[in-house]
Amino acid sequence: MKKISNPPIAKKIAKSLITHGDERIDNYFWLNDRENSEVIEYLNAENAYTQSVMKPTEDFQKSLFEEMKARIKEDDESVPYFYNGYWYITRYETGKDYPIYTRKEGSLEAEENIMFDCNIMAKKHKYFKLGGISISPDNTMAAFSIDTVSRRQYTIQVKNLKTGKLHPNKIKNTTGGCTWASDNETIFYSVKDPVTLRACKIFKHNINEKASEDIEVFHETDETFNAFVYKTKSRKYIVIGSSSTLTSEYRILPADNPDGEFKMFHQRERGLEYAIAHYNDAFYIITNNDNAINFKLQKTPELATEKTHWKDVIPHRPDVLVEDIEIFQHYYVLNERIQGLNKLRIISWDGNEDYYLPFDSETYTAYLGNNPEFNSDVLRYGYNAMTTPSSVMEFDFKTKTNVVLKEQDVLGDFNKENYTSERIWATARDGEKIPMSVVHKKGLKKDGKNPLLLYAYGSYGSTIDPYFSTIRLSLLDRGFIYVIAHIRGGEYLGRDWYENGKLLKKENTFFDFIDCSKYLIEEQYTSRKHLYANGGSAGGLLMGAVINMNPELYHGVVAAVPFVDVVTTMLDDSIPLTTGEYDEWGNPNDEVYYRYMKSYSPYDNVTAQDYPNLLVTTGIHDSQVQYWEPAKWVAKLRDLKTDSNNLLLHVDMHTGHGGASGRFESLKEVALEYAFLLDLEGITQ
């Protein structure tokens, strides 16, 4: 990696921020203005600096890109699924970045009808994302949405699938999803607050009328809640949901009565979470009601939905986390998690059958697939492991047979027998056992000399399951070990695992990651000279926290779209997501939470010390973590750090939180990250 003597230095303009009598001086607050030409000039200077430092790796980046791209089957298509008389298929064509959405009526042998060719739709845009597609009950129309900015503000339109013509109405600033009433004329959709981007209103639109005449049917005024709308799988009800981190509430309306009034399912109670599924004359409810920490399944009559009527179907079990339910005509399937592992439990409505699908590996991922058809005798589900490509499976309820509908094609000389995976456990400083999923090439010796990339997320109860990646092979084949740390803050080991990694226990997340790092070094999987860390978004916060606490453990770190200015962001309720995050991080308007947040906030705790080599990435249009957080963080690190290690900021000036659109363009970002890591190891090809 080329050493550049003069990296960009952001000017300092002291901004005094006083909360609870405590003053923080933010010298880089001025970067919070994307309309300021000086801000753009600084970001461009950082990009130029990163490009100059990484210039010796440009050819390597290109070869990595081509290598990763070459493993992808370009002329690929999804497994067809059947819904309401049609087979739906998403396919890709060689050399093209975007999907083509098609369908066939009645039979897979029928003529293909192209609904949307995203390659054509994306031509005039630097960023393009097709949001949800919702087909009308009579199959003649499709409501769809697009985002061409990467700020997750979608515009909804309706296309006539018979004529190919678009309805003139455009509904702007939506979440992208919508659902049809039974009349084939009415759609319900959610709208975002134009400033905070919080989904706060549900509207009703008649496709034959102007969007300006749409009727507001629900307004969520609590700034900690988000609103959404969908139709039950039974197709009988339109459901408006409203949820915060800790609380749920639903309203229901018969889909054949779109002009009716929505009925409250059960009024919100702080701390009560529930999700509903309709079957025959009842609703089935996954809920934490009655202190069911890991959730349970309850049932209530469809005409008596208040909590007093809810009855247990599957009682709470302290060692089993209930995550999801899929309902069919003769069976229902629960997605459960036991000791971190996914389990699919199949139960017949008559109670005569109750069993789990068998899975053998200890580092696999299994999940409910696309099962839109209620009158089906087969379960579609997905399976993969760290050494096994993704498969789409189909299980027949009647014959009890499994069929592999499709296994992900990995082109080239890939052989899964060349790799091995395991699950290991580190002991955290408070005695908890922290699981890690590990994958590497066979024959590797634990001698402390192996480069190792440790990844984690650790927030929102989001579980990072051990999964297969064709991209990751570019590291494994060059001798890297890849490890996922299932740290607290996720739900890998149940709801308590999440509760003990949030709010005033958030530091457990950071300590777990550090203790996993130390374990990997002690057991000679790697050493400090060869240990690397990676996390994005809230996982970027994790990266910022651990390198403040124990920078000496890591040779290099990649922090993607990192949430690092925790206190300032959580005090600004005009920023997207802030108010809805109080139950995750705490509300700093409360001094207890303010002090605790400040104690770990990466930006506030940058100090004069040595830091690892660091690559930070962000997008100018990021709606989840605003670009100025990583920009300010890098500026402060550059001012205070005492080492000569690389500190690089890469700002995508066209995209947001998810990075580049298109299946190949995003690989260039990965190639940059991998080249950064591999170059630090002296691996240049």
Q: Which of 243, 248, 537, 661 is catalytic?
A: 537
Tokens in use for 114? Answer: 């192209």
Alpha-carbon distances of 624 from 319, 336, 538, rounded to whole Å: 33, 29, 10
Residue with tokens 């929505």: 262
Q: Which of 147, 515, 622, 652 is catalytic?
A: 622
Residue with tokens 């009560």: 272
Residues 6+ apart with CB under 8 A from 352: none
Strand 647-652 vs strand 613-619: parallel, antiparallel, or unpaired? parallel
Q: Which of 515, 601, 657, 661 is catalytic?
A: 657
Residues 6+ apart with CB under 8 A from 80: 87, 88, 89, 104, 108
Is-contact 562 537, C-beta < 8 A?
yes
- 16, amino acid identity: S
The H helix count followed by the E strand count for the chain is 12, 38
Residue of 464, 453, 489, 436 whose CA lies nearest to 683: 453
Q: Is residue 622 annotated as part of the catalytic site, yes or no? A: yes
Residues 6+ apart with CB under 8 A from 407: 389, 390, 391
Alpha-carbon distances of 388 from 120, 441, 534, rounded to whole Å: 34, 13, 22
Calpha distance 419→476 (Å, rounded): 9
Is-contact 388 468, C-beta < 8 A?
yes
CB neighbours of residue 103 within 10 Å = 21
Residue of 586, 535, 536 whose CA lies nearest to 561: 536
Residue of 478, 356, 463, 367 whose CA lies nearest to 67: 478
Helices 665-680 and 58-70 pack at an angle, to 10 degrees, of 120
Tokens in use for 484? Answer: 């996922």
Residue of 526, 557, 553 whose CA lies nearest to 539: 557
Q: Is residue 259 annotated as part of the catalytic site, yes or no? A: no
Q: Is residue 657 annotated as part of the catalytic site, yes or no? A: yes
Q: Is 318 exposed, middle or buried (0-12, 13-18, 19+ CB in 10 A)?
A: exposed
Show which residues are catalytic.
Answer: 537, 622, 657
